[in-house]
Amino acid sequence: MITENNVGIVETKFYTIEDKIKFDSGVEFGPITVAYETYGKLNEDGSNAILVIHALTGDAHAAGYHSENDRKPGWWDTIIGPNKAFDTNKYFVICSNILGGCSGTTGPSSINPETGKPYGLSFPVFTIEDTVKVKKKLLDYLGIKKLYAVAGGSMGGMQAMQFVISYPDYVTSAILIATTSRLSPQAIAFNAVGRNSIISDPNWNNGDYYDKQEKPDRGLSTARMVGHITYLCEEAMYNKFGRRLQDKDHYDFNFDVDFQVESYLQHQGQIFVDRFDANSYLYITKAVDYFDPANKYGSLQNAFKDTDAKFLIMSFDTDWLFPSSQSKEVVNTLMQLGKDVSYCEIKSPCGHDAFLLEYEVQEKIIKSFLNTHIKGEENE
């Protein structure tokens, strides 16, 4: 519903980077079209820009509605808008779809201009650092000389972290939510199972399925079901489903859906295939697996040593995918380096999904951080 408390009707825009970008793999790739949205206005000296970055399967539509009849607002509409955490009366907020995605930014489902066909598996494998290079090109195009803040949750937090590392003089502050500086072996294992379910689908056809009637929907659906298990926690599972049966009062003694949790996962898998590309899932989860700045730079201390950004880091006590211990590792590293860092562990029954659901407490913390940030700069 469009109200005075949100940004109203918004439009997804597109920018094409004509020059090739050198990826971590050594491959030079381009052109790259980037889908993005903006909210609020850039001030005269360009000092109020905030980049928000979506999680694994998100898109550029972070706030507002695409039409009067649009029923669902952007994925972070709860904290982007007038008088919200990312106050569009004060800030110029930018969000873009990730490299390799399937919501407007060039990815494996995009047409290769050299062949006239979708890239498929000819699309180069990329890293989180490569996705940040693409976002920086977009910001340059928009005339952003320096970011007031970069913010993201989960994989978005990884990219925000990499932004600070790659461009230490470009970012004034960073908000890292429910994220990590590297995946645990367990998290990598879940991603591997998801990718294997897609690759094992006979309709995947080695990534060449775009002109086929049958797509690898079953594999992609299963990957999403696996992912959703990691986004919840035991408490959330019990609160949401318990052992309740789905539309029945007894077991059917067959292999159909019996439990509500089964029905939920099946539903999540089914709706996911309508909006996401199987190859994009392969590429993006691999980029997440590769993210490990401590390994690339020799240590986390080396990775963060050149930045003067102020940090706000938040984690959730029931998040077992990216547990608080991983956020605390980043916090401790920044403290050892003498950086300006604030940390908050939020109690929540929602697991990893809390970064999208616990918006009221996050809004208060983010507002306080940004307001203190403003006052601190005004007094300098």
Q: Is the pLDDT of residue 376 over 80?
A: no
pLDDT given at position 196:
98
Domains of the chain: 13-183+291-378 (3.40.50.1820), 188-282 (1.10.1740.110)
Using pLDDT thresholds of 50, 70 and 90, give the confidence band for residue 373: low
Encode burial over 224-256: b for 16+ CB neighbours within 10 A, e otherwise.
bbbbbebbbbeebeeeebeeebeeeeeeeeeee
Q: Is the pLDDT of residue 4 over 50?
A: yes
| Higher per-residue confidence, 5 vs 375 | 5
pLDDT in tens, 11-69: 999 999 999 999 999 999 999 999 999 999 999 998 999 999 999 999 999 999 999 99
- The predicted model scores a pTM of 0.95
- Of 96, 110, 154, 327, catalytic: 154
Q: Is the pLDDT of residue 375 over 80?
A: no
Percent of the chain surpassing pLDDT 90: 95
How much is the mean pLDDT over the chain? 96
Compute φ and ψ for 324, nearest 5 degrees: -55, -30
Q: Is the pLDDT of residue 335 over 60?
A: yes
Q: What is the 3-state secondary structure (H, E, C) of 138-162?
A: HHHHCCCCCECEEEEECHHHHHHHH
Average pLDDT of the residues in 233-244: 94
pLDDT in tens, 91-140: 999 999 999 999 999 999 999 999 999 999 999 999 999 999 999 999 99
pLDDT given at position 5:
80
Q: Is 319 a catalytic residue?
A: yes
- Of 289, 319, 324, 327, catalytic: 319
Q: Is the pLDDT of residue 256 over 60?
A: yes
pLDDT given at position 371:
87
pLDDT given at position 378:
44
Q: Is the pLDDT of residue 374 over 80?
A: no
**CA atoms of 196 and 116, how far apart (whole Å):** 28
pLDDT given at position 379:
41
Average pLDDT of the residues in 288-306: 98
The alpha-helical segments, DSSP class H, found in 120-216 are 128-141, 155-166, 185-199
- Of 54, 61, 228, 352, catalytic: 352
Average pLDDT of the residues in 336-355: 97
CB atoms within 10 A of CB 205: 14
Q: What DSSP element (H or E) covers 123?
A: none
